[in-house]
Structure 1
Amino acid sequence: MIVKNEEDNLQRCLESVKDIVDEMIIVDTGSTDDTVKIAKSYGAKVFYFQWNGNFSDARNYAFEKAKGNWIMRMDADEELSATDREKVLPLLNNSDVDVYVFQTLNYTDNISGIETITNLNIRLIRNHKGYKYKNAIHEQLYKSMDSAEQKKFVIEKIVVYHYGYLNTMTMKKNKPSRNMKILENILEKDPNNNFHLYNMGNEYLRLGKYKKALEYYKKVYKKINPDLFYTPKLLAKMMLALDRLKMYEEEMEVLNTGLKYYPKFTDLEYQRACLFHKQKKYSLAIKGLKKCIKMGEPPVSLKTLNDVGGYRAYYALAEIYSKLGDYDEAYNYYIETIKAKSNYHMPLYRIAENLEKRGKEINVMKARLERFFGKSLNEGAYAKLGDIFYGIEKYDVSLEYFLKAQEIVNTDKNLYYCLGLTQMHLKNYEEAYKWFEKVEEGDRYEQAIYKMILCDILSNNMENAEKLLGIANTFESKNMTIVYKSFKNLVEDKECEIISNDKEESKEFLDIIFILLNLIIKVSTPEIFEKSRQLLNLIDNDEASLKLAKLYYNKGYSNLAYQEFIRSIKLFDKIDKEGLEMMGNILDIPSSVTI
C-alpha cells in the first residue's frame, strides 16, 4: 500500500486483510497524522517515499519491498469484503494465473450501501515476474521484461469496498485538484492520450462541471474503440454528463451507439429507459425497464451502476405506474423493489403515499408498513415509521412512532429533533421547544436553536427569541441569523432594514428565506405566512416570484401560484419549463373544483 494521512481509514483496511497476508508493506508519502502509528500497531513494515507526483513510482517502490510470491494491492480507503475473504488464498494455488482482478464497489455519496458504482481493479499479482506500474496517475500494470511465461489475467467475483468517492472524503482530501494537476502535466506532453483525456473528463464530472467533462469525453469518443477496457465506462459517463446538461437527443445517440457495441450492457438499456421516462414516453420506458429485468445484471466487464437489472428497474417501473395513476401496479413494483433490496427504504415512503392515494384507512396503513419491519419492532423501525408518516403529513401518527422509539432509546438527539419538528407541525410550539432544547450538542444543535427561535416567535415569546438570536449570532451561519431576526421584526410589525441590495449576495439569502418559508407555510397561520413573505422584499432577486409561485403550487394553493407565475413573467420576465408545466396543470383543473 501507499498512504498519506489515512488515519480515518487505515485500521478498517488492515483489519479486513490481516488474517490472509504474511507481511504488510506500507509506503508513506508524507503523513502528518497517526497513519504510521496505526500501521506499526498491525506489525506493518513502514517505508518512506519522497512524493514526486507519480503514483506508479511510489507503488513500484512498495513492490520492491515485498518478499512474498504474491502481492495483494489495496488502498487505505478500501476494505476487502468479509464474506469474500476466504476466497482469496485458494486462488494462489493456480499456476496458470499471474494476475487476478476483483470487483471494486465504489460508494458515491454519503449513504453507504445505496449508491454504488462497480469497477474492475487488479488486486493479486504474482511477484518476481517483472510486473511494474506505469503512468503518473491511474497506473496501469505491465510486464517489464520479456518472458515466454505470459500467463492469464482472471476476473474473480470478489468484492473490495471503496469509500474514497464519498463526498466528505473527496472534499477533505481535495482529490480532484490533486489528480487534475498530475493529468495536466501528462496531457501537456501527450495531448492526444485518450486514456488520460478520459480520466480528466472524470475529474470534471466528479466536480459537477459537466460541460468541461463532456469536452474531454468527446475527444475520446471521436476515436472510439470498443475493445478498450475503459470504453464502456466512457459511454456511461458521457451519457451522464449529457443527461445533466439536458442534451437528450445527443444522449440518445450515445446510448444507441453503446448498445450497438455492447448489446448486453444493461446499464445503458436502463439509462435509455430513464431517458424515455423524462421525455414522458412512458410505454417505451416501461418496455425498456422490463427488458432490463429480463436481461439481469451485465457481464462484470461492462458493469458500472449496480442493480440496474434488479431493484433500480423495479423502482423506476413503480414510479412510472404511480405517475400514470395505476396505483395497484405501482404498489406491486414497490414490493418487488423491497424484495430485491431489503435495505433500500425509499419504497416504504412511496408505499405510504400509495396507500393514502388509494384511500386506505390509517390503521390499515400502519399495519401494512409495520409488516415490512418484521414481528419485533425496535427503536430503528419506530423511528423510520415516524419519518415515513411525517413525510405524508400524518403528524399525529408520526409523533406516536417517534415517542415509541424515544421510550426505548431516551438519549437520542436526532429523535429529540424529530419530535420537536413533529410537535411544531402539530402547532404545539411549547412542546416542540422542549424537545429542541434537549439537543444540546452535535450536528443538529444549531438547527435546533433556530427552531426554538421560531417556536418563540410563533408563540409570541419575543423576549426569549431575542436571547436565542444572541446565541445564534455566534454561529458561522450569520446570514441565517439575519433572516430570522428580520422575520421576528416583521411578525412584530417593526420596521425592517434591507437585508441585501447586492444581487449575488441576495442569491444566498434567497435560499435561506425559502427554507424558512417552506416551514412557516406548514407550521403557522396564513397571517404569519403573509408577513414572512415580505422577507422577499428585503433582498434584490428577480427569481423570488417564480420560486414563490412554485412553493404555492407544491403546497396546493393553485390560484395563488398562478397569480405569482403571471407576476414573475410580467415584472421580471422569468419563467422556466417546470413553471410552464405547473401553469398548464393549473389550467387543466376542472372549473367545478373550488380552490
Structure 2
Amino acid sequence: MESKISLCMIVKDEAQNLKRCLNSVAGCVDEIIIVDTGSTDGTREVAREFGALVRAFPWNENFSEARNASLELATGEWILYLDADEVLAEESREELRRLAKDDNVEGYFIKIVNYLGSEGWVETCPDLVFRFFRNRREYRFHGAIHEQIADVILENSKKANYKVAEEIVIIHYGYLDRQIEEKNKKSRNLKIIQKELEQESDNRLLRYHYGVELFRAKRYAEAAEEFIKAANGIDPKTIYLPKLLRYVVISYQSAGLPEKALDVARLGLQFFADYADLYYYSGVLCLELKQYVLAGEYFQKAVSMPEQPAQYASFSGVRGFRAFYNLGQISEIFLNYEEALRHYILCLRDNPDFTPALENIIRILEPRKNPEYTKECLEKIFEFCTPRSRLILGEIYFRQGAYALALECLEGAAENMLLSPEARLWKAICLIQERRYLEALRIIDTYTRESSFYPLAKLNELLCFWVQGKKRKVRSISLELYALGLASDTENVIALFLDTPDKHKKSYKVTLGTDGVSLLLEIIARLLYLTEIERAMKLLNKIEPDSFSGCRLKISRLFYDYGYMEKAEALLREHLTSNQEAEAHFLLGEIYQKNGNYVEAEQHYRYALEKEPDHPRYYICLIHLYENLRKEILLEAVEKYPDSEVFKQLLEEARNNL
C-alpha cells in the first residue's frame, strides 16, 4: 500500500505565492495542512480552494512552535514541508512517491535551488535542506528561527538512516530582493536570532544563521566576526562548513579586507580542495590586490573543478561564465585581446544571457571604427535572430557610439516587436547621428509631456536643429525646455546652445555641476562623431574651466578616441600641469608611439609605470615600443649598409617578432 504524504506549511499573508506553491504539489501529496499565523490578505481562502485543512495559530515569534502545530494535525506516514515562496519542481512529483516507499530511511536531504537578486538580474544557488521525513510523534522541530528537526530524529533514533535525494528539487523564490523587502525579512530574522543567542550562545548553527542575516543586512564586518566564532573548533565534517567558509571570505571581501578574505579562502581549500567557489573568490581577491597572474591561475582552477556537491551550495557560474569573464579581463590587462575574446566567447557559451561579456567583445572589436569587421566577426560566432537579441545588440552598439550599427539593429528588432519609448528614442538619436534629421524628428514628435522621456526627446530636438544652424528653432525649443522646470544644471547646458549670452559680461562663462558636465560630455562625443569639431570646441569654450576639475582626462580621452590627436595631446599636457595621473601619461605615450616619436613615448610610458608599478600594460607597451624602435634602427642600418648580412638577418628577426 502506498504511503500517505502530508504537506505541512506555516503561512502569513501569502496569497500572492501560495497558489503557485500548492499547484506544484498537486497529485503528489495526500493532504495539505496550513497553519496560519495571522493573514489578512485572503491566504486562508486560497488554501481552502486546494482542500487544505486550515488552522489559526497566534504568532509568538517562534517558527518551531508553529511548525509543530502543523505536525500535530498531519495524518500521513511522511511529512513534506514547504514555505509558500517555494515550489516543488514538476519532475520531482513521482520521485517523492518513490522515496516514500523505502522502509529503511527516516528522512531525506533534498536539493533546493534558491533564486537570488532582483528582477533585472536573477541568479541561482543550490543547497541541501532536510524537508521530507517520517511522521512520528517524537519528531518535533526546535529553534525559534531556522528551525531544525534532523538532529531531533537522531536523538530519538541513534541508527536513523538519512539519504540525500538530489533528484527531488525545491525552487525557492524568497531570497529575491523584492520578496525580502516585502516581508521585511532581514530585520525580523535578526531580532529573533539575537533573542535565541541570548539563550544558546554556544549554538554554532544558530550563530552561523546570525552571520547570514548580518551579511544580508550588509553589516559585513560583524557578519565575519560571527562566522569566525561559528567556525572555531568546528567538526570538518559539518555539512554547512563549506558555505560557512565561503561566507567568511565574502564577508571580509565586502568589508574591504581582501587580504584576510584571501587567507581564509586558502585555508578553506585545505579542507575542500575541490570547492570551485573558493578558487573563484581567491581569483577575485587576487584581482582586487593586483596579483594578476595568480588571479588567472585561481580562475583556471575554478573552471577545471568537477560538478559540485549539493552541500557546497555553489554559486552559479563560478566554474563557468563568471570565471571566464574574469579571465577575459585579465587578458585585457595584459593587452592580449585575442585571448580576451576567447574567454569572453567561452563565457557566453556558458551563459548566453551574460551581456557584459558581449559588450566587452564588441568594445574590443571597435564597432564605431570597424563596423563591417565587427558585424562579420559577431555573425561568425553568434546568432542574433530574435527581436530581443537584436534589441540587446542595438543597445550595446548605441552605448559604444556605433550609431549606424545600432540603428540597423533597432530597425531589425522593430520589424517584429514594439519598441519601448526608450528604445524609440535611441533610434531617433541614431538617426540624428546619421544626419537623417527628418526621420529623427518624426519619432521625437511622438513624445508628449506626459512621457518621462519628453525632456530628453526635446533636448535631442534642440541638438538636431542646432547642428543644422536653425537658430529660431533652437531658441523656441529652449524656451519650451525652460518651461519644464528642469534642474539648473540641465538649464545651463541648454543655455550653451543660445548665441546670445548676457552682453554686459565680456567673458561670459557657464558654471556646470557634475550632472551638467556629464550631459555636456555626452553631447561633445556626439558632435565628434559628426566631425563637428568646431561646434564641440565652441561649447567647451563657454564653460568655466573650474567646472572641468576632475574630468579633464575624460575630455582628453574623448578627443583621443575620435582621432583628434593634436587636440588630445594639448589637453593631456594641460591636464598634467596639475595632475600627474598614470592614464594621462599612458595616453600621451600612445599618441607619440603612433606618431613614431619613440623617445617621447618611452618617457611617458615610464612615467605611467612609475605612478602605477603594478599595472602590466605599461611594460607591454614599452616592449612593443622597443621592438618598433629596433626595427626602425635596423631599417636605417640596412639602408646605409645594404650588403650587410648581419643587419639583414637582424631585420628579418625583428619583423618576425612584430
What's the TM-score, normalizing by structure 2?
Answer: 0.73
- The answer to whether structure 1 residue 455 and structure 2 residue 460 are counterparts is yes
- Residue 283 of structure 2 aligns to a residue whose secondary structure is helix
The aligned counterpart of 2:390 is: 382
The aligned counterpart of 1:240 is: 250
Distance 1:69 1:315 in 2: 49
- Residue 311 of structure 2 aligns to a residue whose secondary structure is coil
Q: Offset at 1:487?
A: 3.7
Distance 1:7 1:165 in 2: 18
The aligned counterpart of 1:272 is: 282
User: Contact 1:491 / 1:532 at 8 angstroms: preserved in 2?
Assistant: no
Q: Offset at 1:232?
A: 1.8
Moved more, 104-113 or 429-438: 429-438
Which residue of 8, 12, 21 corresponds with 1:4?
12
Residues 391-445 of structure 1, C-alpha deviations (whole Å, 9 max, x = no match): 4321111111111111212364453244245446657677556546656799xx5
The aligned counterpart of 2:193 is: 183
Q: Offset at 1:324?
A: 1.8
Q: Offset at 1:332?
A: 2.3
Distance 2:448 2:68 in 1: 50
User: Contact 2:258 / 2:288 at 8 angstroms: preserved in 1?
Assistant: no
Distance 2:556 2:124 in 1: 34
Distance 1:422 1:581 in 2: 34
The aligned counterpart of 1:522 is: 525
User: Contact 2:572 / 2:588 at 8 angstroms: preserved in 1?
Assistant: no
- The answer to whether structure 1 residue 45 and structure 2 residue 18 are counterparts is no
Moved more, 77-86 or 53-62: 77-86
The aligned counterpart of 2:356 is: 346
- Residue 47 of structure 2 aligns to a residue whose secondary structure is helix
Q: Offset at 1:105?
A: 2.2
- The answer to whether structure 1 residue 16 and structure 2 residue 20 are counterparts is no
Distance 2:121 2:128 in 1: 18
Q: Is the alpha carbon distance of 1:379 and 1:350 closer, same or farther for their aligned partners in structure 2, counting shifts above 3 Å? A: same
The aligned counterpart of 1:484 is: 490
Which residue of 392, 404, 426 corresponds with 1:396?
404
Amino acid at match of 1:356: E
The aligned counterpart of 2:76 is: 68
Q: Is the alpha carbon distance of 1:285 and 1:494 closer, same or farther for their aligned partners in structure 2, counting shifts above 3 Å? A: same
Q: Is the alpha carbon distance of 1:240 and 1:585 closer, same or farther for their aligned partners in structure 2, counting shifts above 3 Å? A: farther
- The answer to whether structure 1 residue 211 and structure 2 residue 221 are counterparts is yes
Q: Offset at 1:30?
A: 2.5
- The answer to whether structure 1 residue 143 and structure 2 residue 145 are counterparts is no
User: Contact 1:491 / 1:528 at 8 angstroms: preserved in 2?
Assistant: no
Distance 1:214 1:425 in 2: 51
Q: Is the alpha carbon distance of 1:262 and 1:554 closer, same or farther for their aligned partners in structure 2, counting shifts above 3 Å? A: farther
Distance 2:497 2:423 in 1: 30
Q: Offset at 1:469?
A: 6.2
Q: Is the alpha carbon distance of 1:409 and 1:211 closer, same or farther for their aligned partners in structure 2, counting shifts above 3 Å? A: same
- The answer to whether structure 1 residue 328 and structure 2 residue 338 are counterparts is yes
User: Contact 2:274 / 2:306 at 8 angstroms: preserved in 1?
Assistant: no
User: Contact 1:549 / 1:565 at 8 angstroms: preserved in 2?
Assistant: no
User: Contact 1:297 / 1:303 at 8 angstroms: preserved in 2?
Assistant: no
Distance 2:542 2:135 in 1: 69
Amino acid at match of 2:191: K
The aligned counterpart of 2:107 is: 99
Q: Offset at 1:371?
A: 5.3
Q: Is the alpha carbon distance of 1:147 and 1:220 closer, same or farther for their aligned partners in structure 2, counting shifts above 3 Å? A: closer
Residues 50-71 of structure 1, C-alpha deviations (whole Å, 9 max, x = no match): 2221222222222223322222
Q: Offset at 1:336?
A: 2.3
CA RMSD of aligned residues (A): 3.7
Moved more, 406-415 or 380-389: 406-415
Residues 10-48 of structure 1, C-alpha deviations (whole Å, 9 max, x = no match): 333233222422233333323333433433333333332
Q: Give every structure 1 segment of 4 or more consecutive aligned residues whose post-TM-superposition deviation is greater than 6 Å.
A: 427-430, 439-442
- The answer to whether structure 1 residue 363 and structure 2 residue 372 are counterparts is yes
Q: Offset at 1:514?
A: 6.3
Distance 1:80 1:395 in 2: 47
User: Contact 2:283 / 2:296 at 8 angstroms: preserved in 1?
Assistant: yes
- Residue 90 of structure 2 aligns to a residue whose secondary structure is coil
Q: Offset at 1:272?
A: 1.1
Residues 219-260 of structure 1, C-alpha deviations (whole Å, 9 max, x = no match): 334445433333222221221122233322211211111111
- The answer to whether structure 1 residue 122 and structure 2 residue 122 are counterparts is no
The aligned counterpart of 2:302 is: 292
- Residue 338 of structure 1 aligns to a residue whose secondary structure is helix
* Aligned ranges 1:438-477 → 2 under 5 Å: 438=446, 445-446=451-452, 448-458=453-463, 459=465, 461=474, 463-464=476-477, 467=480
Distance 1:323 1:154 in 2: 44
Q: Is the alpha carbon distance of 1:45 and 1:292 closer, same or farther for their aligned partners in structure 2, counting shifts above 3 Å? A: same
Instruction: Give the % identical residues.
Output: 29
Amino acid at match of 2:549: S
- Structure showing greater radius of gyration is 2
Q: Offset at 1:139?
A: 1.5
User: Contact 2:444 / 2:458 at 8 angstroms: preserved in 1?
Assistant: no
User: Contact 2:303 / 2:320 at 8 angstroms: preserved in 1?
Assistant: yes
Q: Is the alpha carbon distance of 1:15 and 1:555 closer, same or farther for their aligned partners in structure 2, counting shifts above 3 Å? A: farther
Q: Which ranges in structure 2 are unaligned for 5 or more consecutive residues?
A: 1-8, 466-472, 503-511, 528-534, 561-567, 596-600, 602-658
Q: Is the alpha carbon distance of 1:108 and 1:511 closer, same or farther for their aligned partners in structure 2, counting shifts above 3 Å? A: farther
The aligned counterpart of 1:582 is: 583
Residues 367-404 of structure 1, C-alpha deviations (whole Å, 9 max, x = no match): 44345554x82211221221232243211111111111
Distance 2:205 2:448 in 1: 51
Distance 1:528 1:552 in 2: 14
Q: Offset at 1:556?
A: 5.9
What's the TM-score, normalizing by structure 1?
Answer: 0.80
Distance 1:248 1:470 in 2: 51
Q: Is the alpha carbon distance of 1:436 and 1:457 closer, same or farther for their aligned partners in structure 2, counting shifts above 3 Å? A: closer
Q: Offset at 1:277?
A: 2.6
